[in-house]
Amino acid sequence: MLRTASRPINESILITGGAGFIGSHLCDRLVAEGLEVVCVDNFFTGTRRNIEHLLDSRNFELIRHDVTLPLYVEVDSIYNLACPASPIHYQHDPVQTTKTSVHGAINMLGLAKRLKARILQASTSEVYGDPTEHPQTEAYWGNVNPIGVRSCYDEGKRCAETLFFDYWRQHRLQIKVARIFNTYGPRMHPHDGRVVSNFIVQALLGKDITIYGDGSQTRSFCYVDDLVEGLIRLAATPDEVTGPINLGNPEEIPILKLATTIVELCNSRSAIARRERPSDDPYRRRPDVSRAEAILSWKPTTGLADGLTKTIAYFDGLLSDDTVRRTLQGNRD
């Protein structure tokens, strides 16, 4: 393992997308460590509920802002997490999604350059597209459709990575790039259309579990606490470590198996309902995390059943709100 970079005692950290699913958990960790955290979010997919418990903390500040516009703050380091990450949300306004990835990266990189700050980009496994290499290593260039319905997100993130490395080559900016694979846990958006949140909500409501295709397609799922630990370790590496580094769980599971596991953990009687598989939906996705293990001494430690149990408890509590429950009942097949 490489040595970690020294961290100032009173370091201030900007987290864009900080009220989102992953961002809010990252805010929790860094605030708990006593660091000054500036959370920026436009609340398109992030929610105030995710960070409300932090608002009275002396070392936490919330700014409502869209990263496609310039931002002027004084911080020591930046985590750039801002971008809708689920197909339902990023396809809602695909032009804005691309702007968030590209213009947002330009604005945050410009800020980091001015401040001489470290900056971490939350990239994605979607840069690999529908991979022909399995599992996916960071050296794999991907198999991405540049004009498909998912391209606004896939290519937006690929362009953001290009910008990060060009700023590193041209300006010697201290960059870190994390390629995040499927992450799940409490605070997932109930309307995000991802399989874990979909299946849990459907199972808790006693509705059919919707599977696209025959369910043989596979994914690997990383619990959010493990992912946040990986991000923090990557951000703390010395300047010569830029990434990209895969962060995810290398244990692969068929979607049908995930569905039956969630039904069992929810003690649900939901049946399986099959739908046509969406366009450009990858058939297999699993990270090679050997680089993260070697450089960060990191690997996920939360078992799927344990992580799902915690996530189910969160959604069960969310559904205790009658307004939320009625909304979800009206939006789930």
| pLDDT of residue 254 exceeding 60 | yes
Tell me if 272 is assigned to some domain.
Answer: no
User: Is there a cis peptide before residue 87, judged by omega within 30 degrees of 0?
Assistant: no
* Residue 188: half-sphere exposure toward Cβ, Cα within 13 Å: 32
Single pTM value for the model:
0.91
Angle (CA) 180-244-92 rounded to 5° is 40
In a domain, 288, yes or no: yes
Residue 261 falls within a domain, yes or no?
Answer: no
First-to-final CA distance of the chain? 48
Residue 325's pLDDT is 63
pLDDT digits (tens, 9 = 90+) for 10-40: 789 999 999 999 999 999 999 999 999 999 9
Tell me whether residue 128 is one of the annotated catalytic residues: no
Q: pLDDT at residue 108 above 50? A: yes
Residue 260 lies in a domain: no
Mean pLDDT of all residues in 77-95: 87
Domain count, the chain: 1
Q: Is 90 exceeded by the pLDDT of residue 138?
A: yes
CA 133 – CA 120 distance, rounded (Å)? 26
Residue 275 within a domain: no
Q: Nearest-5° angle of CA 18, CA 19, CA 21?
A: 95
Cα dihedral 323/329/332/333 (nearest 10) = -170
**5: confidence class by pLDDT, cuts 50, 70, 90:** very low
- In terms of Cα–Cα distance, which of 70, 15, 58, 60 is closest to 40? 15
The answer on pLDDT for 333 being more than 70 is no
Residue 80, pLDDT above cutoff 80: yes
pLDDT at position 328 is: 63
What's the pLDDT at 326?
Answer: 61
Domain, as residue range, for 148: 12-251+281-329
Q: What is the mean pLDDT of the chain?
A: 91
Q: Which of 103-117, 187-201, 243-257 has the lowest mean pLDDT?
A: 187-201
Residue 210 sits in a domain whose CATH number is 3.40.50.720
Catalytic residue, from 79, 90, 128, 153: name it. 153
Q: Looking at the predicted structure, is the pLDDT value of residue 240 above 90?
A: yes
